[in-house]
Structure 1
Amino acid sequence: MILKHPSDRGGSRSKPFERLAENASRFTSSATFFGICLILVAVAVALHVIGLPIAWLLFVGEAMSAVTLLMVALLKNSELRAERAVQRKLDLIAAALLEGLEGGGPGEAHQRLRSLLDREEKP
């Protein structure tokens, strides 16, 4: 099995994981999520201060580790998508500039760049 980069998988229809990752990325970059994280950290500190048994403290620590691992995976997914999107745009800009310099007028690269920009303007 060959794993492809998320942006190379093709198709204009987004897959369930892509939708989940996009929605999770939006939520985790919100002020609401930051507030939830602050509350969770405050609860973890309070549990240590209260002196709960080690089993509960381990459970809280492991839960926070699991959430951190999931967040790293989502962050990496978003990073790869953004990196590839920027690279595709740069490639199309370079190709459109070359078309313009060669004097042939707007060609295929210009149309592909226009199509990409139009797609991004739509919600």
Structure 2
Amino acid sequence: MILKHPSDRGGSRNKPFERLAENASRFTSSATFFVVCLILVAVAVVLHLIGLPIKWLLFAGEAMSAVTLLMLALLKNSELRAERAVQSKLDAIAAALLEGQEGSGTGKAHRELRSSLGLEESS
């Protein structure tokens, strides 16, 4: 079990799970996903109205619950990485501002700020 924050794990940023989480995040925020969800809800309502046996209704509900749980894990991973990226940029800005107030010019904090802003341009 990995207890480190996803952005603290190091290594390649393009690991398969991270790519999957990013793609899931993009897809679930689209209008297409909303339409798919509406269709699934309509299908569930129709299944109840036509009177399918309870076994099939339970199976459909459990399948939707399993998909929801998987989506939660993927989206949380994406959220944590985005949160950490924003926080590291805010830390770099604060350090550069403090360094500027202390009059030390363009030191380590300014270089880190330029570096973190450069990451934004490349993503």
TM-score by length of 2: 0.92
Over 3 Å counting, the alpha-carbon distance change for 1:50 and 1:2 in structure 2 is closer
Whether 2:62 is the aligned partner of 1:62: answer yes
For residues 57-100 of structure 1, the C-alpha deviation after alignment (integer angstroms, 9 at most, x for no partner) is: 01110111011111211222122112211211111111101111
RMSD (CA atoms): 1.4
Query: C-alpha displacement at 1:120, in angstroms?
Result: 1.1
- Does structure 1 retain, via aligned residues, the 8 Å contact 2:24–2:71? no
1:19 aligns to what? 19
CA distance in structure 1 between the aligned counterparts of 2:75 and 2:17, rounded to whole angstroms: 14
- Counterpart position of 2:119: 119
Q: Which has the higher contact order (CA 8 A, sep 6+)?
A: 2
1:82 corresponding residue in structure 2: 82
Report what 1:5 is aligned to: 5
Matched, 1:42 2:42: yes
| Unaligned stretches of 5+ residues in structure 2 | none
- TM-score, normalised relative to structure 1: 0.92
CA distance in 1, matches of 2:13, 2:66: 30
Q: Give aligned-pair identity as a percent.
A: 83
CA distance in 2, matches of 1:111, 1:41: 51
Stretches of 4+ aligned residues off by more than 4 angstroms: none
Contact in 1 for aligned 2:92/2:113 (Cα 8 Å): yes
The corresponding residue for 1:52 is 52
Q: Which residue of 1 aligns with 2:31?
A: 31
**In the alignment, residue 103 of structure 1 is paired with which amino acid?**
G
Residue 110 (structure 1) aligns with: 110
Stretches of structure 1 lacking an aligned partner (at least 5 in a row): none
